[in-house]
């Protein structure tokens, strides 16, 4: 069985609050959840603050470029703040 999450926000449990539109026809899970609790929130920024300036992949390297810097905070975390995905129980 194949399920394509990229075709519409309705494909995600939680709808548009659980995903981001990356172009006219594709959707994806949002980056920025350093705590891995399913919600992008201020506690994720706290982890980023503690790791800012570090090199190498880490939970707060939101754009996966190997550096924890302002691009992770401003371009990824801030843009996705408040989004999250949930798994139904």
Structural domains of the chain in order of their starting residue, each with its CATH number: 1-30 (no CATH), 31-82 (1.10.1330.10)
- Confidence tier at 24 by pLDDT (50, 70, 90): confident
Distances from the Cα of 26 to the Cα of 45, 72, 77, angstroms = 27, 21, 20
Query: Comparing C-alpha atoms, which of 85, 88, 87, 86 is closest to residue 20?
Result: 85
pLDDT beyond 80 at 5: no
- Confidence tier at 87 by pLDDT (50, 70, 90): low
Distances from the Cα of 68 to the Cα of 15, 38, 57, 63, angstroms = 29, 20, 8, 9
């Amino acid at each position: 069985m194949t399920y394509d999450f990229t075709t519409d926000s309705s494909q995600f449990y939680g709808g548009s609050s659980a995903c981001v539109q990356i172009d006219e026809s594709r959707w994806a899970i949002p980056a920025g959840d350093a705590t891995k609790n399913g919600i992008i929130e201020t506690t994720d920024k706290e982890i980023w603050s503690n790791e800012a300036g570090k090199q190498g992949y880490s939970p707060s390297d939101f754009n996966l470029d190997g550096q924890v810097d302002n691009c992770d905070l401003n371009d990824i975390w801030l843009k996705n703040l408040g989004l999250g995905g949930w798994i139904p129980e």
